[in-house]
Amino acid sequence: MPFDIPLALIILFPLAGFAVCGLIGSRMTKPWPGIIASGAVLASFIVALIRVIDLASMPQNVRVISETAYTWISVGALRSDISFLFDPLSAVMILIITGIGFLIHLYSIGYMAEDHNDPEGKLYARYFCWLNLFIAFMSLLVLADNYLLMFVGWEGVGLCSYFLIGYWFKREDAMAACKKAFIVNRIGDFGFLLAMMLIFVVVGSLNYNDVFDAVRNTPQLFSVGILGTIGAATLIPLLLFVGAAGKSAQIPLFVWLPDAMAGPTPVSALIHAATMVTAGVYMVSRSSALFLNAPNIQILICVVGTLTALFAALAALAHTDIKKVLAYSTVSQLGFMFMAVGVGAYAIAIFHVFTHAFFKACLFLGSGSVIHSLHGEQDMDKMGGLAKKMQITNITFLAAGLALAGFFPFAGFFSKDEILAAVINAGSGAPILIACGVIGFIAALLTGIYTGRQYAQVFLGDARDEELYEHAHESGPTMTIPLIILGIGSLVVGFLGMPHFVFIPAWGHAFTNWLEPVFSSGGAAEAPNVILLLIGLLIGWGAWLGGVALGKNAVGVIMPESLRAVSLDAFYNITIVPAGFAIAAACRWIDETFIDGIVNLVGSFVGESSVALRATQTSYVRNYALAMAVGAVIVLAWFVVK
């Protein structure tokens, strides 16, 4: 290239789109805000692609581009600029964000055009305005080169998620869900903030390079004890994981994700499948150097990820709402990603992020296509037999579903099985990880079952509701083209990260090789365990076919009604929510009784004293003369006393 295109453009294009759609979007006719927004994201994608090509042309061990856009904070020891770090990890993330983001923008142009929640179409521009802002913040998050700037992006995507979940702001469920998402995210953000403060206290800087150099060269800095004997080396990774758990919906902070389905379906696809929820995985992977010194925390992460994967998969089996199943599926897959992170297989975790983005987005968009054509119906019990009426949606949903289930040779197989293999391999160091691996296989089995069931319930068999079936139709090209692209992606991208068998050509592990230099611990260069892979392969095939069989026989729910009430939400409603209300009531009492009391006391004191003082204004001259005389006497008395 004759000149270096600044990385800042990747963020500025969607920001400009946000400004345009936000300020004058409401005056444009229907598709234009969408076209402008999609164009902005496409421009970002092109810029990102060009820069990635630049990056690839650099030798492998120095594959880093740093750019500083603006000096932001320079106060005392704290120096945090708007500067970007572009290395293979950010490259992968930014391509996902802008590429899949662009496809979802395209999809949304058609999807949001007929919105039965918004018949007058007044909210259309607002949607694209927030969506663009989201892309801008998410790009900022992955491109930042210091924790503070990443936190800006982190908060920003949380904010946009709030706005987008609560997009139909007249709906009660949407408003409750968006508040819940924001508040639960906040809890995680608190952990992240504490971690950042600790990092600053220990290292003196929030810049990635400074922090990671400090970990590598002067690890003794981190052994300073913070809480008694717990050192910073343990506490910082723990708090970082708390932050990641909030954003990436791990136990116990995943409760916002299923409720977030109250937002429009493309939002669920972009934010709650492909990008925002993977921010936690990105953040932990980026901080891999910090986790190196805390093996206990890594085991904790793996265990939490495993449990999340299992329980979310069980929950997915218990729902009949097409989007809720996908939501719980996302939580489960995120659990898988954290399992990989927990054993240090960061490259594999990011690979799973990559493949998951494709097939989950495809699944969500496909479900959106179904919902759209059925005019808002989301209950799978009322669907069925749509394969004949919506061919493109059918095929792409099938492809993505197979990928999710881990059906060889689709994408999900490679990423998920490498995760499980890595976990079991690492079990040689810590036996608990072997248990995690086994549970992971069970979760993979459940994944296949619920995905197959979902596909069969929606598309195969006979229509369960004739009236809805009559109106069903395939969606327009703005919606089907992204579906096709993502469907093809779900098929093929898996081949970029195949395990290191001898007979596989070099491009087969291009992905992991690409990411190799970024992480501190080993990526995935171990010899693959063939047995585990075969087990995974059989599980993938078997689970899918079993699930399809279940779905065809219209067995919707495996779990009895009573168990559905047992949920983390219910637990929170019993424990934390009343505690919160009690604290709020106490504060209110203090405010009303004490503080207002004091203020009112001052006010009434002034009033009362002025009423008392009014008595001196008798209006009789003689009284005033007496006052003067008494005053003179007092002055004289003072001389007497002196």
Partner 1 sequence: MVPTSFYILISAVLFTIGALGVLVRRNAIVVFMCVELMLNAANLAFVAAARQYQAMSGQIFVFFVMVIAAAEVAVGLAIIITVFRNRETLDVDSANQLKN
Partner 2 sequence: MPVDSIIFGLTAFVVIAAAMMVVLNRHPMYSALYLVVTFLGLAVFYLQLQAPFLAAVQVIVYAGAIMVLFLFVIMLIGADRPMAGEDHLGVQKWLGGAFAVVLIGEIVYFLAGAHSATLNTRSYVALIHSAADKTLYAPFGSVKALGSVLFSQYLFAFEATSVVLIIAMVGVVILAKKRL
Q: Would you tell me which residues interact with partner 1 (CB under 8 A)?
A: 614-615, 617-622, 625-626, 629
Question: Taking the complex as a whole, how short is the minimal distance between the CB of residue 612 and partner 2, in angstroms?
Answer: 17
Name the binder of 614 from partner 1, partner 2, none, CB < 5-8 A by kind: partner 1
Q: Which of 527, 575, 623, 624 touches partner 2 (CB under 8 A)?
A: 623
- How many other CB atoms are found less than 10 A from the CB of residue 24? 13
Q: Does 637 bind partner 2 (CB under 8 A)?
A: yes
The answer to whether 459 and 387 have CB atoms below 8 angstroms apart is: yes
Q: Report the C-alpha gap between 253 and 260 in whole angstroms.
A: 13
Q: Does 633 bind partner 2 (CB under 8 A)?
A: yes
Query: Strands 65-75 and 230-231, how do they pair?
Result: unpaired
Taking the least distance from each CB to partner 2, the nearer of 582 and 626 is 626
Q: Angle at CA 445, nearest 5°, toward 308 and 342?
A: 40
Number of residues that bind partner 2 (CB under 8 A): 13
* Residue 384 DSSP symbol: -
Q: Which of 574, 577, 582, 630 touches partner 2 (CB under 8 A)?
A: 630
Write out 232-290 in H/E/C secondary structure: HHHHHHHHHHHHHHHHCCCCCCCCHHHHHHHCCHHHHHHHHHHCHHHHHHHHHHHCHHH
The answer to whether 543 and 416 have CB atoms below 8 angstroms apart is: no
Name the binder of 637 from partner 1, partner 2, none, CB < 5-8 A by kind: partner 2
Question: Taking the complex as a whole, how short is the minimal distance between the CB of residue 629 and partner 1, in angstroms?
Answer: 6
Burial 297-334 (b: 16+ CB within 10 A, else e): bbbebbbbbbbbbbbbbbbbbbbbebbbbbbbbbbbbb
Q: Report the C-alpha gap between 451 and 442 in whole angstroms.
A: 14
Question: Taking the complex as a whole, how short is the minimal distance between the CB of residue 578 and partner 1, in angstroms?
Answer: 55
Name the binder of 617 from partner 2, partner 1, none, CB < 5-8 A by kind: partner 1
Taking the least distance from each CB to partner 2, the nearer of 209 and 623 is 623
Taking the least distance from each CB to partner 2, the nearer of 527 and 633 is 633
Closest CA to 65 of 73, 79, 55: 55
> Please, is 474 exposed, middle or buried when counting C-beta atoms within 10 Å of its C-beta (0-12, 13-18, 19+)?
middle
Name the binder of 183 from partner 2, partner 1, none, CB < 5-8 A by kind: none
Q: Which of 307, 597, 620, 624 touches partner 2 (CB under 8 A)?
A: 620
Q: Angle at CA 366, nearest 5°, toward 363 and 371?
A: 125
Q: Does 598 bind partner 2 (CB under 8 A)?
A: no
Q: Report the C-alpha gap between 163 and 138 in whole angstroms.
A: 15
Q: Does 629 bind partner 2 (CB under 8 A)?
A: yes
Which range binds partner 2 by CB under 8 A, 78-86, 110-118, 195-203, 616-624? 616-624
Question: Taking the complex as a whole, how short is the minimal distance between the CB of residue 614 and partner 1, in angstroms?
Answer: 5
Q: Report the C-alpha gap between 501 and 580 in whole angstroms.
A: 55
Name the binder of 531 from partner 2, partner 1, none, CB < 5-8 A by kind: none
Q: Report the C-alpha gap between 265 and 357 in whole angstroms.
A: 15
Q: Does 614 bind partner 2 (CB under 8 A)?
A: no
Name the binder of 74 from partner 1, partner 2, none, CB < 5-8 A by kind: none
Beta bridge partners of 86: 65
Which residues, other chains included, contact 510 with Cβ-Cβ below 8 Å and sequence gap of 6+?
496, 497
CA distances from 385 to 375, 394, 463, 469, 554 (A): 16, 10, 5, 8, 12
Question: Taking the complex as a whole, how short is the minimal distance between the CB of residue 624 and partner 2, in angstroms?
Answer: 11
Name the binder of 619 from partner 2, partner 1, none, CB < 5-8 A by kind: partner 1
Q: Report the C-alpha gap between 563 and 570 in whole angstroms.
A: 11
Taking the least distance from each CB to partner 1, the nearer of 223 and 623 is 623
Taking the least distance from each CB to partner 1, the nearer of 506 and 621 is 621
Q: Report the C-alpha gap between 266 and 167 in whole angstroms.
A: 12
Taking the least distance from each CB to partner 2, the nearer of 197 and 632 is 632
- How many other CB atoms are found less than 10 A from the CB of residue 91? 25
Question: Taking the complex as a whole, how short is the minimal distance between the CB of residue 640 and partner 2, in angstroms?
Answer: 6
Question: Taking the complex as a whole, how short is the minimal distance between the CB of residue 615 and partner 1, in angstroms?
Answer: 8
Question: Taking the complex as a whole, how short is the minimal distance between the CB of residue 623 and partner 1, in angstroms?
Answer: 9
Question: Taking the complex as a whole, how short is the minimal distance between the CB of residue 603 and partner 2, in angstroms?
Answer: 32
Q: Which of 27, 116, 614, 642 touches partner 2 (CB under 8 A)?
A: 642
Q: Does 626 bind partner 2 (CB under 8 A)?
A: yes
What is the rounded radius of gyration, in angstroms, for the C-alpha atoms of the chain? 30
Taking the least distance from each CB to partner 2, the nearer of 122 and 622 is 622
Which value, to the nearest 10 degrees, does the dihedral of the CA atoms of residues 154, 156, 161, 166 take? 150
Question: Taking the complex as a whole, how short is the minimal distance between the CB of residue 183 and partner 1, in angstroms?
Answer: 57
Name the binder of 640 from partner 2, partner 1, none, CB < 5-8 A by kind: partner 2
Q: Does 640 bind partner 2 (CB under 8 A)?
A: yes
Question: Taking the complex as a whole, how short is the minimal distance between the CB of residue 616 and partner 2, in angstroms?
Answer: 13
Q: Angle at CA 75, nearest 5°, toward 71 and 76?
A: 135
Which chain residues interact with partner 2 by CB under 8 A? Answer: 618, 620, 622-623, 626, 629-630, 633, 636-637, 639-640, 642
